[in-house]
Structure 1
Amino acid sequence: MDSLQDDAARVEALAALSRFRREFYSCLTLRADALFELTDAVLCAGGPVVSLPELSLEAVHRRGHGAMYDALAQGHINVSRLRMALAGLELPREADRQLSIALDVTPWPRPDAECSPQRLHCHRPCRCDGVRQTIPGWPYQVAAALGGGRSSWTGPLDAVRLGPEDDPIEVTVTQIRDLLARLREAGQWLEGDPDVLFVMDSGYDLVRLTWLLREEPVRLLGRIRADRVMYAPAGKRRGTWPGRPPRHGAEFRLADPATHPTPTQESTGIHERFGEVLARCWGHLHPKPDRRGSWADHQGELPLVEGTLVHLAVDHLPGNRDPKPLWLWHSDPDATAHDVDRLWRIFLRRFDLEHTFRFFKQTLGLTRPRLRTPEQGDRWVWLILAAYAQLRLARPLAEDLRRAWEKPLTPDRLTPGRVRRGYPRIRRILGTPANTPKATHPGPGRPRGRTSTPAPRHPVGKKQQKKDMPRRGGAEKKT
């Protein structure tokens, strides 16, 4: 009986993978055969992807390296349709059907590509001296569904490249709204389901995002600085004289435990990596709004955005590092409506996205190609996302082809790297929808006596300049 169930599950997994491959091929509207075989070459390569020309030597890539570069330069991908295909796949969920989606930015370093436009100073700590914290490149903001337990797998759903003229807040809000619309259309989120939880690391203006997404069925959870100041709800005005009622209550300094009232919830436990863990939360706290930064263009009076603060204290960190206080912001102000122990565990699952980024770059070669234009880079990024989606669907079909020095893993614990080792066998079963290449002859080459003009140089873009704002004390800045 168990063997029959296993065979049925295998047949269903093969059918799901075959459907996605056909749908992915339909999303390639120009140079489809070359782009599809390039993706197969990424999946069937014997080791990490080190360069594009090396991929043309794979047996599944039946075209030359010139066709590969031509496909990335002149090809076209229906990104909207591919996004819907990714949203329609089975996504990991919590026990109550809640979707947890991590949102983070990963850079594609292009420090020496002076001829590549739309580069930005991307955050990337240098490992040589620890001083330089940025590197010119193309930043991509990726959204991926998180699993319920500790795993190296995620479910990438979307990727957006940030340009020099883009406002990160507006790009994030648009990306979240569009992703919610696709999840509704794909039946992943229905009326009555828990709000979708977006988990972010430091660097996002969570308060501003909470205000802009207040009408959407989303919740935000992210890390904030440990030196911020929050305020409790305002009480009644003291004294008998008339006047404006106060907007802020008692001060809550995150770095000063003396200003911390009794927590709304408190949870203690033992973690396998961090030892004893103490989690506390306080509800209905808000920061003092300031008409600077992302609030500079806000019309009318600045709102008070309430949320829940979560403080996490651990016994020790891996690597004998001194534990630092961790403060999280949750956009739901009612601290009694959720479990504080569950919140910080979901936040730790956000680091699974770091494993996905590392696998993208070190194994699938996300940042290996030296492409000229950002449009070519966008096509390559979407090919990598489609390749990773095929590995997710191939998990029930893969065997544990481990090295002699590696420990055996059960089928439910196979890593993306081990699934990729067995993908060539699965690909031989599935076949390919790509057409057989036609016989061609070498081109005429570059005309004799004709010299090309030097490619234009593009400076590295900078962040948008903040608009002139009133000085403190009411004096306007002189022009």
Structure 2
Amino acid sequence: MHDTGQAGALGDLSGFREQVYQCLTSRADALFELADAVLCADGPVTSLAELSLMPEHRRGHGGGYDAINHGRIEVDRLRTTLAGLPLPRAANGRIALAVDVSHWLRPDAACSPQRLFCHTYARGKGQAQMIPGWPYSFVAALETGRTSWTALLDAVRLRPADDATAVTADQLRNVVGRIIDAGHWQPGDPRILIVADAGYDVTRLAFVLADLPIEVVGRIRSDRVMLRPAPPRTPGTNGRPRKHGGMFTLADPASWHTPDHTTHTDTTRYGHAQTQAWDRLHPRLTHRGPWLDHEGELPLVEGTVIRLQVEYLPGDRDPKPVWLWSSVTAANAELIDLLWQVFLRRFDLEHTFRLFKQTLGWTRPKLRAPQSADRWTWLILTVHTQLRLARPIVEDCRRPWEKRVTEPRRLTPARVRRGFRNLHTTTTHPAAAPKPSRPGPGRPLGSTNPHPATRYEVGKTVKRDLTLEQHRNHTG
């Protein structure tokens, strides 16, 4: 029985490698072996050139750069392949998707187009910086329990002319559609949970994606002001009916009313966790930001506000409460606990980003074109997916000072990668051997480049046709 499971997992890994190779339509052999070199490297990836020294990469360092700069990947086909793989499930057997942005910082690349100012945190309070780079929006399926694994399903680079909320909504719509087409969700199953952090307009996402079988939960700022439902209209009252009720100020406990639900949970990592939930609260929307082009009267998007207070955090004995907003209404206590627990699992995506940058070398290559960065990003996604598929069958190459792990699912992605080279020989190798060739003559010695590279500005390059005041006068 154990051998059958091992063979099945190895078959899934080999099948995925074949499907990835079929998605590489130009410079396929060089791209595929570049990914294998990342998988089998002894330590962190520091540059593309050093990957050519790996035995799995049978081409020169110039071939690797040529593949990244001039290769071609059928991204839509690769997205469908990723959605067809087995998906992990969160608590209660639900599918939980986390969305977040990670930045490929390029502060000195003045000749690289489509860079935006990326918000990055520095050491010390209030030391955040805005550094030029390429922001990427990732969508991943979350597991249950404490883990550093996620199942990445999509990646989209945000461009200077993009609206971040609109791009995220389209990205989530496409991911959910592929999940349904793959048969992971059937009518009658629990709704798919979408988890986001405070940087997203969760109200807008819930409104735009209301036709999908999803429920949105995300963190909101602690200085937000929500509104209660309008009270019943008194008979004989004249005038326009009220649209909003009283204010619910998150930072002012005097404005709170009795919670609809209060739950208590003892956790091993955060101590005692207490939640308070208030049903049918909504924000006051204005024709700004993602609602600027909304036609007609702005809607009322009601949901549940959850206040999560834990006893302690690692390194913090007096943590501040976390405020969440969910598109679910009339939620019971069991669902409230599920929502905040799934939200805490969103931080597993941070482990994935750290693996990408510190171990797999996602942001290491000094690429000029953003299209080349996109190809390299998708190669890293295929590398991470292969590690996830090899997780139950790889042999743990434990260092003498590391703890012994008896369950394969408890292995970290870095330890799975450490043992992937031993597994690599048993998988399929669709890439063909390189043909003999010789490098070109290159630029004549002593000559200069007559075509200097173009320099590009950083930030949003597309302005609105109308200012907010002109738009207000035009629509009014």
- TM-score range relative to shorter protein: over 0.9
What is aligned with 2:171? 175
What is aligned with 1:216? 212
Greater displacement, 351-360 / 291-300:
291-300
TM-score, normalised with respect to structure 2: 0.95
Over 3 Å counting, the alpha-carbon distance change for 1:264 and 1:475 in structure 2 is: closer
Over 3 Å counting, the alpha-carbon distance change for 1:440 and 1:475 in structure 2 is: closer
Greater displacement, 375-384 / 429-438:
429-438
Contact 1:282 1:335 in 2 (8 A): no
What is aligned with 1:415? 412
Whole-angstrom CA distance in 1 between matches of 2:472 and 2:357: 50
2:449 counterpart of 1:440: no
What is the identity, as a one-letter code, of the residue corresponding to 1:469?
A: L
What is aligned with 1:90? 86
What is aligned with 2:457? 459
Greater displacement, 293-302 / 61-70:
293-302
What is aligned with 1:16? 12
1:269 Cα deviation after fit:
2.0
What is the identity, as a one-letter code, of the residue corresponding to 2:336?
A: V
1:112 Cα deviation after fit:
0.3
1:448 Cα deviation after fit:
5.8
1:204 Cα deviation after fit:
0.5
Contact 2:87 2:151 in 1 (8 A): yes
Whole-angstrom CA distance in 2 between matches of 1:39 and 1:106: 21
What is the identity, as a one-letter code, of the residue corresponding to 1:457?
A: R
String of CA shifts for 1:428-465, please: whole Å, max 9, x gaps: 11141100111112322224675322111111123765
Whole-angstrom CA distance in 2 between matches of 1:222 and 1:458: 35
2:153 counterpart of 1:157: yes
Q: The residue matched to 1:429 in structure 2 has which SS?
A: coil
1:154 Cα deviation after fit:
0.4
2:222 counterpart of 1:226: yes
String of CA shifts for 1:385-418, please: whole Å, max 9, x gaps: 0000000110111112111111111222111011
Whole-angstrom CA distance in 2 between matches of 1:91 and 1:33: 28
Whole-angstrom CA distance in 1 between matches of 2:437 and 2:254: 78
Greater displacement, 445-454 / 362-371:
445-454
What is the identity, as a one-letter code, of the residue corresponding to 2:434?
A: P
What is aligned with 1:59? 55
Q: The residue matched to 1:47 in structure 2 has which SS?
A: coil
1:238 Cα deviation after fit:
4.6
Q: Decide which of 299, 302, 306 is 2:302's aligned counterpart.
A: 306
Contact 1:264 1:335 in 2 (8 A): no
Whole-angstrom CA distance in 1 between matches of 2:428 and 2:188: 41
What is aligned with 1:425? 422
Whole-angstrom CA distance in 1 between matches of 2:366 and 2:333: 50
Structure 1: gaps of 5 or more residues: none
Whole-angstrom CA distance in 2 between matches of 1:201 and 1:95: 19
Structure 2: gaps of 5 or more residues: none
Over 3 Å counting, the alpha-carbon distance change for 1:190 and 1:443 in structure 2 is: same
Whole-angstrom CA distance in 2 between matches of 1:397 and 1:63: 29
Whole-angstrom CA distance in 1 between matches of 2:57 and 2:314: 43
Q: The residue matched to 1:160 in structure 2 has which SS?
A: strand
Whole-angstrom CA distance in 2 between matches of 1:95 and 1:235: 37
What is the identity, as a one-letter code, of the residue corresponding to 2:155?
A: A
2:257 counterpart of 1:261: yes
What is the identity, as a one-letter code, of the residue corresponding to 2:468?
A: M
Identity of aligned residues (%): 55
Whole-angstrom CA distance in 2 between matches of 1:324 and 1:94: 26
2:395 counterpart of 1:399: yes
Whole-angstrom CA distance in 1 between matches of 2:444 and 2:316: 64
Contact 1:310 1:327 in 2 (8 A): yes
1:96 Cα deviation after fit:
4.2
Aligned pairs for 1:203-352 within 5 A: 203-238=199-234, 240-320=236-316, 322-336=318-332, 339-352=335-348
Over 3 Å counting, the alpha-carbon distance change for 1:398 and 1:241 in structure 2 is: closer
1:56 Cα deviation after fit:
0.3
String of CA shifts for 1:47-66, please: whole Å, max 9, x gaps: 00011111000000000001
Aligned pairs for 1:118-129 within 5 A: 118-127=114-123
2:467 counterpart of 1:468: yes
String of CA shifts for 1:308-365, please: whole Å, max 9, x gaps: 1110111222113531121001011222385211211111000000000000110000
What is the identity, as a one-letter code, of the residue corresponding to 1:8?
A: T
Over 3 Å counting, the alpha-carbon distance change for 1:181 and 1:124 in structure 2 is: same
Whole-angstrom CA distance in 2 between matches of 1:371 and 1:299: 42
2:78 counterpart of 1:79: no
1:228 Cα deviation after fit:
1.1
The root-mean-square deviation of aligned C-alpha atoms, in Å, is 1.9
1:126 Cα deviation after fit:
2.3
What is the identity, as a one-letter code, of the residue corresponding to 1:426?
A: L
1:475 Cα deviation after fit:
9.1
Q: Decide which of 108, 113, 116 is 1:117's aligned counterpart.
A: 113
Whole-angstrom CA distance in 1 between matches of 2:317 and 2:67: 48
**Aligned pairs, number:** 471
1:476 Cα deviation after fit:
5.1
Q: Decide which of 36, 43, 51 is 2:39's aligned counterpart.
A: 43
What is aligned with 2:27? 31
Over 3 Å counting, the alpha-carbon distance change for 1:29 and 1:265 in structure 2 is: same
1:163 Cα deviation after fit:
0.3
Contact 2:166 2:290 in 1 (8 A): no
Over 3 Å counting, the alpha-carbon distance change for 1:129 and 1:225 in structure 2 is: closer
1:469 Cα deviation after fit:
2.6
Contact 2:261 2:333 in 1 (8 A): no
Whole-angstrom CA distance in 1 between matches of 2:124 and 2:52: 34
Q: Decide which of 365, 368, 380 is 2:361's aligned counterpart.
A: 365
Q: The residue matched to 1:105 in structure 2 has which SS?
A: strand
String of CA shifts for 1:1-53, please: whole Å, max 9, x gaps: xxxx1111111111110000000000000000000000000000000001111
What is the identity, as a one-letter code, of the residue corresponding to 1:460?
A: V
Q: The residue matched to 2:383 in structure 1 has which SS?
A: helix
Contact 1:97 1:193 in 2 (8 A): no
